[in-house]
Structure formats: C-alpha cells, structure tokens
Amino acid sequence: MLLTIDAGNTRTKWAVFNQAGEIINNGACDNSVLSNADFSALIFERVAISNVAGDKAAGILANNLAQYTATIYWLESTTKACGVINNYAPAITLGSDRWAALIAAWHFKQAPCVVVNAGTAVTIDALSVTLVNNKSQANFIGGLILPGLNLMQQSLGFATAQLPKFDIVQNSSKNQTTDSFAKNTADAIYAGALLAIVGAITLMVHELKLQCKQEPFIVIGGGNAQAIYQQLTKEISTLQMTPQTVIVENLVLQGLYLLDNFMQSDTQ
C-alpha cells in the first residue's frame, strides 16, 4: 500500500493506493491545521510526498509520519521519468506538483496535452510528443504560472482602495456570472479572473497545436477545476476549437502513484 501526500500552498491532500492503482482511502485538510492530520487509520508501507508548501509543512509532515515504519520519498523533479522528458532549466526547479501532474496526464492520454493544475496558483503546462525508436515519448516543453481564481480576486481587494475584499467562504456558494459585460463589481472581478485563466489556457492550446500539428488534450486538476472546465468548454465552442477537455481527480496524487511504481520497478 502506498500513501501519497500532496502538500499544496493552501491545502494538503492524501490518498492510499492499492497495488492495482485504486484509491481506497483519502482525505484533506487546510495547511493551518496540518499538525492535526491523522494517518493512524490508514494501512501503508511506503509514502510518496509532493510538497510545495515550504519547510514548515515538511517539518509537520515528517513529525506526523515519524511513528510509522514506512519508507518516505520526497519527490523532486528529475530530467526524465515515466516516459516524460523534463526540459525545465534546471529540471529540479520544476515544482514537484507540476511534475507529478505532467506524469499523470501523459499516463492517461499518451498524446500532446495542456496540463492545468488549478489551485492557489494555476499552472498551465505543455506536453509535446516525439517518436523514439517507434515509441511515443513526452516532452515537457514549458508552461505558465498565474495567480489562482481566488488569489486573483483577493489581490484586487488587498491592492485597491475601493474594490471589495474577496471572501472565499461567501463566494464559494454564490452563483457568479462570467458575462464579459458584467453589471456589478463582484461579477466583474470574478469574470475577469476566470476569463484571464481560460484565455491563457486557450492560448497555450493554440501554440501547442501549431507545434505538434494536432489538437492537444486539455487535462485539468485542482480545487477550481470545475469552474475553469465549464467556462473553458464554453469558450472553446465559441472559438470553434476542438480539443478534448477532461477533469482528472487527484491529478498530483495519481502522478505520485505512477512515479512510485516507476522507482520500484527501477530498483528491482
């Protein structure tokens, strides 16, 4: 059994995978209460962790896991893994969550992909494909980092005198419009943030299509995946684009499982 942990900027998610690659248990918590995360009810022999939350989160996780005999692996991006070449410079500086998401997207689609991880920040990464000895190989050719949907809205409230402060709890249950001609300030801020993200994704799709000479898939994960997916499919239809867009739950955790399998097979 493998325990995978994705420590993001705001929240930490985890899941236990069985040998068949199925999630049999999972959970999540805000990083502010990470010290309370309890893994005692879980059964696992190994732990794979992607941590982009910094040294404090790493220390808390290490302390929480100290009581277990499981082998712990802290993911760092490498130049190659699971059939994906990492062209970041240098490779190790690519965020471990982005690397895991790219690995998962390639595993699921085996085709050119725009990989979107929509959390506190939004990353939009491109995978192209080349043939090596008649076998397809993925190349991570680069990507973009934007403030996430909530962070964009919050930043306007912090940096301006008259625009309203954004409340995540209040706005999470509110039906906000994405009309480009918004008629009130809250809707104007929300639509501006969402359309900025969707615009960056559609531009990446266009650029990757030009390079690969085929329509790429769009693979989306993260907490704001659904909102982005809904707006993106609407914009794609309007622009008469034809990429297939999918949401993959637990994209980073799925990548951690695949990377663990890769390392296990490499050591045998």
Q: Name the residue with tokens 């001609």.
A: 181
Which among 6, 97, 125, 260 is annotated as catalytic? Answer: 97
Neighbours of 100 (CB within 10 A): 29
Minimal CA–CA distance to 109: which of 225, 214, 222? 214
The strands making up 121-132's β-sheet, listed across from edge to edge, are 80-81, 84-86, 135-147, 121-132, 113-118, 217-221, 245-247
Whether 266 sits among the annotated catalytic residues: the reply is: no
- Tell me how far the alpha carbon of residue 178 is from its chain's centroid: 23
SS3 217: strand
Q: Residue 115: CB partners within 8 Å, gap ≥ 6?
A: 98, 101, 102, 105, 123, 124, 125, 126, 127, 143, 219, 251
Report residue 92 as tokens.
């190790």
SS3 118: strand
Q: Name the residue with tokens 């297939």.
A: 244
137/129 Cα distance (integer angstroms): 6
244/41 Cα distance (integer angstroms): 39
Active site residues: 97
